[in-house]
């Protein structure tokens, strides 16, 4: 079985965006509030939105199951306030829940959290619990910068976030560290802000004792770990200069990278420096880069092809394609028991 740990519902039916547009209109003109009903989306519309996109690509690329979450760039936790974010998150998560019910063999859910710059992470724990216990989700996406490029929240290692981590540990679910769109003109979302957040989070984890406080807390850093594997020597050296333990002890029981790196040399580097137990197959499809690489004639984001080109043992290949995901997302592992 091949599990793609990183997919977003970027192709949701138009009624979802209509709901969001109405919500944003209300922010500008509160008299509109009563007009913003929940989006009406039929099962057929959901099927159509997936059949021609994610499901087609799963079939074409030979992958089986996608760990599926709401569109990351649309989370936009910086817009409105906590009530805005909660209403939007619930609608988006419920839609992911319907996708997973319609296609239980193809999708398993990960939720968006109702974060907001002024919101307490304890409130995100409530929506997390709802999604895990009521919708059957297996994890969440955690935005380390709900301000959208102004980085006004404390580092992920601050006690500020502990109420959410306590719930994650209680439910035994991991978080993918994933920012959303940027309202800071310095940062292009998918070309800078996403990768910067990945790099930033890793360094925060490296310089803290978070995992002493939460030995079973787990994070997936997407986009191949941002800049980290490319600068693996820098990180090993910084840890050593700071008299910290080696990275293997310091963070690698708790931090995992996906394979959303869109060329073979990058994937080769990722696998060369990172322990195989810390790599989860992911493609971010349909996502940041949608075109075909003229150098290969294949989709940039068909990352399975790059992994297929590596000389891995069958055991290692199975870890990357499914075993590691089942360990990092134990609720997924339990769902799949007997199917793998």
**Cβ atoms 185, 220 nearer than 8 A:** no
Of the residues 284, 295, 314, 315, only one is catalytic, namely: 284
Is the Cβ of residue 80 or residue 155 nearer to a copy of itself in the bound state? 155
Q: Which residue, among 55, 6, 60, has the nearest Cα to 299 in the 3D structure?
A: 60
Rounded distance, CA 155 to CA 152, Å?
9
| Greatest CA separation for the chain | 62
Among positions 49-68, residues that touch a copy of itself (CB under 8 A) are none
284 is catalytic: yes
Using the rule CB under 8 A, is 205 a contact of a copy of itself? Answer: no
213: burial class by Cβ within 10 Å (0-12, 13-18, 19+)?
Answer: middle
Is the Cβ of residue 223 or residue 331 nearer to a copy of itself in the bound state? 223
Helix residue ranges per DSSP H, 103-215: 121-133, 162-171, 194-206, 210-213
Using the rule CB under 8 A, is 128 a contact of a copy of itself? Answer: no
Using the rule CB under 8 A, is 162 a contact of a copy of itself? Answer: no
Write out the DSSP string of 200-234. Answer: HHHHHHHTS-HHHH-TT--EEE-GGGTTTGGGHHH
Using the rule CB under 8 A, is 11 a contact of a copy of itself? Answer: no
Least gap, CB of 196 to a copy of itself (angstroms): 4
Using the rule CB under 8 A, is 224 a contact of a copy of itself? Answer: yes
Using CB under 8 A, which of 192, 252, 276, 310 touches a copy of itself? 192
Least gap, CB of 250 to a copy of itself (angstroms): 13
**Cβ atoms 64, 9 nearer than 8 A:** no
Using the rule CB under 8 A, is 230 a contact of a copy of itself? Answer: yes
Tokens linked to 117:
């710059």
Using CB under 8 A, which of 14, 62, 104, 154 touches a copy of itself? 154
**Cβ atoms 261, 267 nearer than 8 A:** yes
Using the rule CB under 8 A, is 160 a contact of a copy of itself? Answer: no
Using CB under 8 A, which of 7, 114, 222, 226 touches a copy of itself? 226
CA distances to 105, 147, 158 from 164, rounded to whole Å, are 29, 18, 12
Using the rule CB under 8 A, is 310 a contact of a copy of itself? Answer: no
Using CB under 8 A, which of 7, 109, 139, 144 touches a copy of itself? 144
Among positions 252-291, residues that touch a copy of itself (CB under 8 A) are 261-263, 265-266, 268-269, 272-273, 288-291
Least gap, CB of 340 to a copy of itself (angstroms): 30
Write out the DSSP string of 284-312. Answer: --SSS--SEETTTTEETT-HHHHHHTS--
Binding site residues, a copy of itself, CB under 8 A: 144-145, 149-151, 153-155, 158, 184-188, 190-192, 195-196, 199-200, 202-204, 206-207, 223-224, 226-227, 229-238, 240-241, 261-263, 265-266, 268-269, 272-273, 288-291, 293-294, 300-301
Residues known to be catalytic: 284
């Amino acid at each position: 079985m091949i599990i793609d740990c990183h997919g977003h519902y970027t192709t949701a039916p138009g009624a979802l965006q209509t709901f969001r547009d109405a919500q944003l209109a209300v922010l500008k003109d509160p008299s509109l509030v009563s007009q913003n009903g929940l989006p009406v989306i039929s099962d057929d519309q959901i099927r159509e939105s997936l059949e021609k996109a994610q499901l087609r690509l799963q079939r074409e690329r030979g992958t089986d199951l996608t760990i599926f979450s709401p569109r990351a760039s649309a989370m936009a936790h910086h817009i409105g306030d906590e009530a805005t974010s909660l209403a939007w998150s619930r609608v988006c998560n419920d839609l992911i829940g319907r996708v997973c019910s319609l296609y239980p063999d193809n999708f398993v859910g990960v939720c968006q959290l109702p974060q907001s710059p002024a919101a307490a992470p304890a409130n995100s724990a409530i929506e997390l619990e709802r999604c895990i216990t009521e919708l059957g989700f297996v994890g969440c996406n955690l935005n380390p910068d709900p301000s959208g490029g102004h980085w006004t929240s404390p580092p992920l290692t601050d006690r500020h976030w502990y109420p959410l981590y306590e719930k994650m540990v209680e439910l035994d679910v991991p978080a993918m560290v994933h920012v959303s769109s940027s309202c800071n003109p310095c940062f292009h979302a998918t070309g800078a802000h996403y990768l910067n957040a990945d790099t930033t989070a890793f360094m925060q984890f490296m310089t803290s004792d978070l995992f002493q406080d939460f030995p079973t807390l787990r994070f997936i850093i997407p986009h191949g770990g941002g800049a980290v594997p490319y600068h693996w020597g820098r990180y090993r050296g910084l840890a050593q200069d700071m008299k910290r333990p080696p990275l293997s002890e310091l963070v690698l029981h708790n931090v995992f990278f996906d394979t959303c790196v869109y060329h073979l040399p990058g994937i080769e580097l990722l696998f060369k420096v990172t322990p195989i137990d810390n790599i989860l197959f992911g493609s971010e499809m349909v996502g940041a880069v949608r075109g075909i690489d003229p150098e290969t004639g294949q989709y940039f984001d068909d990352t399975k092809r790059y992994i297929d080109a590596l000389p891995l043992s069958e055991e290692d290949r199975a870890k990357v394609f499914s075993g590691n995901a089942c360990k990092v997302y134990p609720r997924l592992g339990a769902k799949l028991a007997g199917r793998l």
